[in-house]
Homo-oligomer: A and B are copies of this chain.
Amino acid sequence: MRGLRLQDVADKAGVSVSTVSNVVRDRPHVSAKMRHKVQTAIDELGYRPNRVARQLATGRTGFIALAFMQITNPYFAELGQMMSRVAERAGYRVLFEETGASLEAERELLTDLDSSLVDGILLQPSAISQRELARTRTDVPLVLLGEASAPLTLDHVMIDNVAAAREITADLIAAGCRRIAFVGHEETALSETSRQRLLGYQEALQAAGLGVDPARLVAFDAAPVGTVPSAHLPIGRALDRGLDADALVCRDDLVAFGAIRAAQERGLRIPADLAITGWDNTWASALAFPGLTTVSPNLATLASTAFGLLAERIDGYAGAGRHVVTSHSIVRRESSPPPAAGGE
Protein backbone atom coordinates (compact mmCIF):
# COMPACT_ATOMS: atom_id res chain seq x y z
CA MET A 1 0.00 0.00 0.00
CA ARG A 2 2.78 2.36 0.84
CA GLY A 3 4.47 4.21 -1.99
CA LEU A 4 1.50 3.97 -4.30
CA ARG A 5 1.81 7.01 -6.51
CA LEU A 6 -0.24 8.87 -9.02
CA GLN A 7 2.16 7.43 -11.59
CA ASP A 8 1.25 3.87 -10.64
CA VAL A 9 -2.40 4.56 -11.28
CA ALA A 10 -1.54 6.28 -14.55
CA ASP A 11 0.50 3.28 -15.69
CA LYS A 12 -2.26 0.86 -14.84
CA ALA A 13 -4.92 2.91 -16.58
CA GLY A 14 -2.68 3.74 -19.48
CA VAL A 15 -3.09 7.50 -19.10
CA SER A 16 -1.01 10.38 -17.87
CA VAL A 17 -0.57 11.45 -14.27
CA SER A 18 -2.32 14.74 -14.86
CA THR A 19 -5.43 12.96 -16.02
CA VAL A 20 -5.40 10.83 -12.93
CA SER A 21 -4.87 13.94 -10.86
CA ASN A 22 -7.87 15.55 -12.50
CA VAL A 23 -10.02 12.54 -11.74
CA VAL A 24 -8.85 12.34 -8.14
CA ARG A 25 -9.68 15.97 -7.57
CA ASP A 26 -12.94 15.61 -9.42
CA ARG A 27 -12.23 18.38 -11.86
CA PRO A 28 -14.27 19.10 -14.98
CA HIS A 29 -13.07 18.55 -18.53
CA VAL A 30 -12.47 14.87 -18.15
CA SER A 31 -14.45 12.60 -20.41
CA ALA A 32 -16.73 10.12 -18.72
CA LYS A 33 -14.86 7.32 -20.39
CA MET A 34 -11.48 8.41 -19.07
CA ARG A 35 -12.95 9.06 -15.68
CA HIS A 36 -14.34 5.58 -15.49
CA LYS A 37 -11.14 3.94 -16.65
CA VAL A 38 -9.08 5.86 -14.15
CA GLN A 39 -11.53 5.34 -11.31
CA THR A 40 -11.38 1.61 -11.88
CA ALA A 41 -7.61 1.64 -11.64
CA ILE A 42 -7.79 3.72 -8.47
CA ASP A 43 -10.23 1.33 -6.87
CA GLU A 44 -8.34 -1.78 -7.87
CA LEU A 45 -5.07 -0.44 -6.61
CA GLY A 46 -6.58 1.13 -3.53
CA TYR A 47 -4.82 4.36 -4.27
CA ARG A 48 -5.01 7.25 -1.79
CA PRO A 49 -3.46 10.62 -2.58
CA ASN A 50 -0.51 11.73 -0.53
CA ARG A 51 -1.73 14.80 1.35
CA VAL A 52 1.73 16.07 2.14
CA ALA A 53 2.81 16.12 -1.47
CA ARG A 54 -0.37 17.95 -2.30
CA GLN A 55 0.32 20.42 0.48
CA LEU A 56 3.74 21.14 -0.91
CA ALA A 57 2.45 21.60 -4.41
CA THR A 58 -0.49 23.82 -3.50
CA GLY A 59 1.06 25.68 -0.61
CA ARG A 60 -1.94 24.91 1.56
CA THR A 61 -2.14 22.45 4.39
CA GLY A 62 -5.85 22.35 5.13
CA PHE A 63 -5.01 22.82 8.81
CA ILE A 64 -5.89 25.70 11.03
CA ALA A 65 -4.61 26.07 14.57
CA LEU A 66 -6.90 26.86 17.48
CA ALA A 67 -4.87 28.13 20.40
CA PHE A 68 -6.08 28.73 23.93
CA MET A 69 -4.95 28.38 27.53
CA GLN A 70 -5.87 24.81 28.25
CA ILE A 71 -8.04 22.08 26.89
CA THR A 72 -9.17 20.86 30.32
CA ASN A 73 -11.20 24.00 30.78
CA PRO A 74 -14.59 22.80 29.55
CA TYR A 75 -15.25 26.08 27.79
CA PHE A 76 -12.29 25.54 25.52
CA ALA A 77 -13.14 21.89 25.00
CA GLU A 78 -16.59 22.89 23.82
CA LEU A 79 -15.23 25.72 21.71
CA GLY A 80 -12.75 23.33 20.14
CA GLN A 81 -15.42 20.78 19.42
CA MET A 82 -17.62 23.38 17.79
CA MET A 83 -14.76 24.86 15.79
CA SER A 84 -13.72 21.44 14.51
CA ARG A 85 -17.20 20.82 13.21
CA VAL A 86 -17.44 24.16 11.51
CA ALA A 87 -14.00 23.78 9.96
CA GLU A 88 -14.64 20.24 8.83
CA ARG A 89 -17.54 21.39 6.68
CA ALA A 90 -15.12 23.64 4.83
CA GLY A 91 -12.55 20.89 4.44
CA TYR A 92 -10.24 22.03 7.21
CA ARG A 93 -8.83 20.17 10.17
CA VAL A 94 -8.23 21.91 13.48
CA LEU A 95 -4.99 21.59 15.36
CA PHE A 96 -5.40 22.31 19.07
CA GLU A 97 -2.60 24.25 20.66
CA GLU A 98 -2.34 24.81 24.41
CA THR A 99 -0.55 27.93 25.51
CA GLY A 100 -0.90 27.41 29.23
CA ALA A 101 -1.48 31.17 29.33
CA SER A 102 2.25 31.65 28.96
CA LEU A 103 3.65 34.57 27.05
CA GLU A 104 6.41 32.57 25.44
CA ALA A 105 3.97 29.95 24.22
CA GLU A 106 1.81 32.59 22.60
CA ARG A 107 4.82 34.20 20.98
CA GLU A 108 6.16 30.90 19.76
CA LEU A 109 2.81 30.09 18.28
CA LEU A 110 2.89 33.16 16.09
CA THR A 111 6.43 32.66 14.91
CA ASP A 112 6.97 28.94 14.96
CA LEU A 113 3.69 27.69 13.66
CA ASP A 114 3.70 29.85 10.57
CA SER A 115 6.15 27.53 8.93
CA SER A 116 3.67 26.26 6.44
CA LEU A 117 2.16 23.94 9.00
CA VAL A 118 -1.18 25.70 9.15
CA ASP A 119 -3.10 27.95 6.80
CA GLY A 120 -4.31 30.18 9.60
CA ILE A 121 -4.48 30.66 13.34
CA LEU A 122 -7.36 31.26 15.73
CA LEU A 123 -5.93 32.58 18.96
CA GLN A 124 -7.56 33.34 22.26
CA PRO A 125 -4.74 35.37 23.78
CA SER A 126 -4.24 35.66 27.49
CA ALA A 127 -0.74 36.90 28.06
CA ILE A 128 0.49 38.62 24.94
CA SER A 129 0.03 42.37 24.73
CA GLN A 130 -2.05 44.19 22.21
CA ARG A 131 1.00 46.03 20.95
CA GLU A 132 2.97 42.89 20.38
CA LEU A 133 0.04 41.35 18.56
CA ALA A 134 -0.26 44.39 16.35
CA ARG A 135 3.35 44.12 15.42
CA THR A 136 3.16 40.45 14.63
CA ARG A 137 4.12 39.48 11.12
CA THR A 138 1.12 39.07 8.94
CA ASP A 139 2.65 35.97 7.49
CA VAL A 140 -0.18 33.67 8.33
CA PRO A 141 -3.81 34.75 8.67
CA LEU A 142 -4.81 35.36 12.27
CA VAL A 143 -8.15 35.85 13.99
CA LEU A 144 -8.42 36.67 17.68
CA LEU A 145 -11.01 35.27 20.03
CA GLY A 146 -12.11 36.45 23.42
CA GLU A 147 -12.17 39.70 25.22
CA ALA A 148 -8.52 40.66 25.41
CA SER A 149 -8.24 44.00 23.69
CA ALA A 150 -7.17 43.50 20.11
CA PRO A 151 -5.40 45.81 17.71
CA LEU A 152 -7.58 47.44 15.07
CA THR A 153 -5.60 45.80 12.33
CA LEU A 154 -6.59 42.28 13.30
CA ASP A 155 -9.89 40.42 13.07
CA HIS A 156 -11.51 39.79 16.42
CA VAL A 157 -14.60 37.95 17.60
CA MET A 158 -15.98 38.28 21.10
CA ILE A 159 -19.15 38.60 23.12
CA ASP A 160 -20.03 41.79 24.98
CA ASN A 161 -18.66 40.94 28.39
CA VAL A 162 -19.60 44.21 29.99
CA ALA A 163 -23.20 43.91 28.90
CA ALA A 164 -23.43 40.27 29.94
CA ALA A 165 -22.00 41.01 33.37
CA ARG A 166 -24.43 43.88 33.71
CA GLU A 167 -27.34 41.67 32.76
CA ILE A 168 -26.58 38.81 35.08
CA THR A 169 -25.96 41.21 37.97
CA ALA A 170 -29.15 43.10 37.21
CA ASP A 171 -30.97 39.79 37.27
CA LEU A 172 -29.80 39.17 40.81
CA ILE A 173 -30.84 42.65 41.83
CA ALA A 174 -34.27 42.14 40.30
CA ALA A 175 -34.56 38.94 42.30
CA GLY A 176 -33.96 40.83 45.51
CA CYS A 177 -30.24 40.44 46.12
CA ARG A 178 -28.66 43.55 47.54
CA ARG A 179 -25.23 42.51 48.80
CA ILE A 180 -23.70 41.11 45.64
CA ALA A 181 -20.04 40.13 45.61
CA PHE A 182 -17.78 39.53 42.60
CA VAL A 183 -15.59 36.47 42.84
CA GLY A 184 -12.60 35.04 41.07
CA HIS A 185 -10.77 37.83 39.32
CA GLU A 186 -6.99 37.65 39.45
CA GLU A 187 -5.26 39.01 42.49
CA THR A 188 -1.86 39.88 41.04
CA ALA A 189 -2.53 40.65 37.39
CA LEU A 190 -6.09 41.47 36.44
CA SER A 191 -6.96 39.96 33.08
CA GLU A 192 -8.88 41.91 30.48
CA THR A 193 -11.62 39.32 30.80
CA SER A 194 -12.01 39.95 34.51
CA ARG A 195 -11.74 43.69 34.01
CA GLN A 196 -14.69 43.77 31.65
CA ARG A 197 -16.83 41.51 33.77
CA LEU A 198 -16.05 43.56 36.86
CA LEU A 199 -17.00 46.67 34.96
CA GLY A 200 -20.40 45.33 33.98
CA TYR A 201 -20.99 44.17 37.54
CA GLN A 202 -20.18 47.65 38.81
CA GLU A 203 -22.39 49.33 36.25
CA ALA A 204 -25.35 47.20 37.22
CA LEU A 205 -24.91 47.98 40.90
CA GLN A 206 -24.66 51.68 40.23
CA ALA A 207 -27.62 51.67 37.90
CA ALA A 208 -29.64 50.21 40.76
CA GLY A 209 -28.35 52.80 43.17
CA LEU A 210 -26.38 50.21 45.10
CA GLY A 211 -22.92 51.09 46.27
CA VAL A 212 -19.88 49.13 45.17
CA ASP A 213 -18.14 47.83 48.26
CA PRO A 214 -14.49 46.84 47.69
CA ALA A 215 -14.88 44.36 50.53
CA ARG A 216 -17.16 42.41 48.22
CA LEU A 217 -14.46 41.75 45.66
CA VAL A 218 -12.97 38.32 46.25
CA ALA A 219 -9.82 38.04 44.17
CA PHE A 220 -7.45 35.11 44.04
CA ASP A 221 -5.03 33.55 41.64
CA ALA A 222 -6.19 30.56 39.71
CA ALA A 223 -4.58 27.21 40.26
CA PRO A 224 -1.50 26.59 38.16
CA VAL A 225 -2.18 25.20 34.74
CA GLY A 226 -2.67 21.48 34.72
CA THR A 227 -3.61 21.42 38.35
CA VAL A 228 -7.02 20.66 39.71
CA PRO A 229 -8.79 23.97 40.19
CA SER A 230 -9.53 24.66 43.81
CA ALA A 231 -11.54 27.84 43.87
CA HIS A 232 -13.50 26.51 46.83
CA LEU A 233 -10.59 27.14 49.19
CA PRO A 234 -10.16 30.91 48.79
CA ILE A 235 -13.91 31.37 48.55
CA GLY A 236 -14.35 29.34 51.71
CA ARG A 237 -11.82 31.53 53.46
CA ALA A 238 -13.67 34.64 52.36
CA LEU A 239 -16.92 33.25 53.71
CA ASP A 240 -15.24 32.29 56.97
CA ARG A 241 -13.90 35.81 57.30
CA GLY A 242 -17.48 36.99 57.23
CA LEU A 243 -17.95 38.09 53.65
CA ASP A 244 -21.18 40.07 53.75
CA ALA A 245 -23.00 38.87 50.64
CA ASP A 246 -26.30 37.42 49.53
CA ALA A 247 -25.08 36.67 46.03
CA LEU A 248 -21.84 35.84 44.23
CA VAL A 249 -21.23 36.82 40.63
CA CYS A 250 -18.44 34.45 39.68
CA ARG A 251 -15.93 35.19 36.96
CA ASP A 252 -16.56 31.83 35.29
CA ASP A 253 -18.21 28.46 35.78
CA LEU A 254 -15.17 26.85 37.38
CA VAL A 255 -15.07 29.53 40.03
CA ALA A 256 -18.82 29.13 40.49
CA PHE A 257 -18.43 25.39 41.09
CA GLY A 258 -15.91 26.20 43.76
CA ALA A 259 -18.35 28.70 45.24
CA ILE A 260 -21.13 26.13 45.30
CA ARG A 261 -18.88 23.71 47.09
CA ALA A 262 -17.67 26.29 49.60
CA ALA A 263 -21.24 27.35 50.34
CA GLN A 264 -22.50 23.82 50.76
CA GLU A 265 -19.61 22.87 53.00
CA ARG A 266 -20.73 25.68 55.28
CA GLY A 267 -24.35 24.67 55.22
CA LEU A 268 -25.51 27.68 53.26
CA ARG A 269 -28.61 27.12 51.18
CA ILE A 270 -28.36 28.10 47.52
CA PRO A 271 -29.95 30.40 46.51
CA ALA A 272 -31.88 31.16 49.69
CA ASP A 273 -28.82 32.12 51.73
CA LEU A 274 -26.48 32.76 48.85
CA ALA A 275 -27.19 33.07 45.15
CA ILE A 276 -24.43 32.07 42.75
CA THR A 277 -23.90 32.74 39.06
CA GLY A 278 -21.24 31.56 36.64
CA TRP A 279 -20.04 32.25 33.14
CA ASP A 280 -19.69 30.01 30.07
CA ASN A 281 -22.61 27.58 30.36
CA THR A 282 -20.48 24.50 29.94
CA TRP A 283 -22.00 21.05 30.33
CA ALA A 284 -21.11 20.96 34.01
CA SER A 285 -23.27 23.96 34.81
CA ALA A 286 -26.35 21.95 33.93
CA LEU A 287 -25.17 18.96 35.93
CA ALA A 288 -24.24 20.85 39.07
CA PHE A 289 -26.57 20.96 42.02
CA PRO A 290 -28.15 23.35 42.16
CA GLY A 291 -28.08 23.99 38.43
CA LEU A 292 -25.96 27.01 37.74
CA THR A 293 -27.33 30.29 36.44
CA THR A 294 -24.73 31.45 33.98
CA VAL A 295 -23.82 33.57 30.98
CA SER A 296 -24.10 31.53 27.83
CA PRO A 297 -22.07 32.67 24.83
CA ASN A 298 -23.56 31.49 21.57
CA LEU A 299 -20.78 29.09 20.75
CA ALA A 300 -22.12 28.04 17.37
CA THR A 301 -22.23 31.62 16.16
CA LEU A 302 -18.92 32.47 17.73
CA ALA A 303 -17.18 29.54 16.08
CA SER A 304 -18.68 29.98 12.64
CA THR A 305 -18.07 33.71 12.67
CA ALA A 306 -14.44 33.33 13.66
CA PHE A 307 -13.85 30.56 11.20
CA GLY A 308 -15.55 32.55 8.47
CA LEU A 309 -13.29 35.53 9.01
CA LEU A 310 -10.24 33.32 9.00
CA ALA A 311 -11.32 31.53 5.84
CA GLU A 312 -11.73 34.89 4.12
CA ARG A 313 -8.22 35.89 5.15
CA ILE A 314 -6.87 32.59 3.90
CA ASP A 315 -8.63 33.21 0.62
CA GLY A 316 -6.85 36.49 0.25
CA TYR A 317 -8.90 39.15 1.99
CA ALA A 318 -6.43 41.79 3.13
CA GLY A 319 -8.61 44.62 4.46
CA ALA A 320 -8.63 46.16 7.90
CA GLY A 321 -9.43 44.23 11.04
CA ARG A 322 -13.06 43.36 11.60
CA HIS A 323 -14.36 43.32 15.13
CA VAL A 324 -17.48 41.24 15.53
CA VAL A 325 -19.57 40.97 18.68
CA THR A 326 -21.56 37.77 18.81
CA SER A 327 -24.62 37.12 20.91
CA HIS A 328 -24.98 35.71 24.39
CA SER A 329 -27.81 34.98 26.76
CA ILE A 330 -28.40 34.42 30.44
CA VAL A 331 -29.35 30.86 31.29
CA ARG A 332 -31.35 30.86 34.52
CA ARG A 333 -31.19 27.79 36.70
CA GLU A 334 -31.69 27.08 40.39
CA SER A 335 -28.55 28.69 41.77
CA SER A 336 -30.13 32.13 41.59
CA PRO A 337 -33.57 33.13 42.86
CA PRO A 338 -36.33 33.50 40.27
CA PRO A 339 -36.75 37.12 39.14
CA ALA A 340 -40.35 37.08 40.29
CA ALA A 341 -39.24 36.47 43.88
CA GLY A 342 -39.32 40.18 44.68
CA GLY A 343 -37.54 41.97 47.54
CA GLU A 344 -35.90 40.43 50.56
Contacts and interface: CB of A to CB of B under 8 A. Distances in A.
Given A71-B77, A72-B81, A95 B98 contact: no
A70 interface: yes
A272 interface: no
A43 interface: no
Interface string A246-269: 000000001001101100110000
A125 B2 CA distance: 24
A49 B115 contact: yes
A283 interface: yes
A258 B283 CA distance: 12
A117 B63 CA distance: 11
Nearest to A70: B81
Contacts of A175: none
Nearest to A283: B228
A76 to B, nearest CB: 9
A261 B232 contact: no
A98 B81 contact: yes
A325 interface: no
Given A81-B70, A230-B286, A287-B254, A139 B50 contact: no
Q: Which of A48, A81, A264, A287 gathers most chain B CB within 10 Å?
A: A287
Contact of A52 (B71, B117, B230): B117
A110 B165 CA distance: 46
Contacts of A171: none
Contact of A71 (B51, B53, B71, B231): B71
A263 to B, nearest CB: 9
A42 to B, nearest CB: 13
A1 interface: yes
Nearest to A225: B81
Contact of A72 (B56, B77, B98): B77
A228 B287 contact: yes
B98 A48 contact: no
B115 A48 contact: yes
Contacts of A93: 95
B50 A115 contact: yes
B74 A257 contact: no
A220 interface: no
Contact of A261 (B53, B226, B254, B287): B287
Given A50-B115, A137-B1, A72 B74 contact: yes
B229 A283 contact: yes
Interface in A44-80: 48-53, 55-56, 61, 70-72, 74, 77-78, 80
A21 interface: no
A84 interface: yes
Contacts of A230: 286-287
A317 interface: no
Interface of A: 1-2, 48-53, 55-56, 61, 70-72, 74, 77-78, 80-81, 84, 93, 95-96, 98, 111-112, 114-117, 137, 139, 226, 228-232, 254, 257-258, 260-261, 264-265, 283-284, 286-289
The 8 closest A-B pairs by CB, nearest first: A261-B289, A264-B289, A228-B286, A52-B55, A228-B283, A48-B115, A52-B116, A72-B77
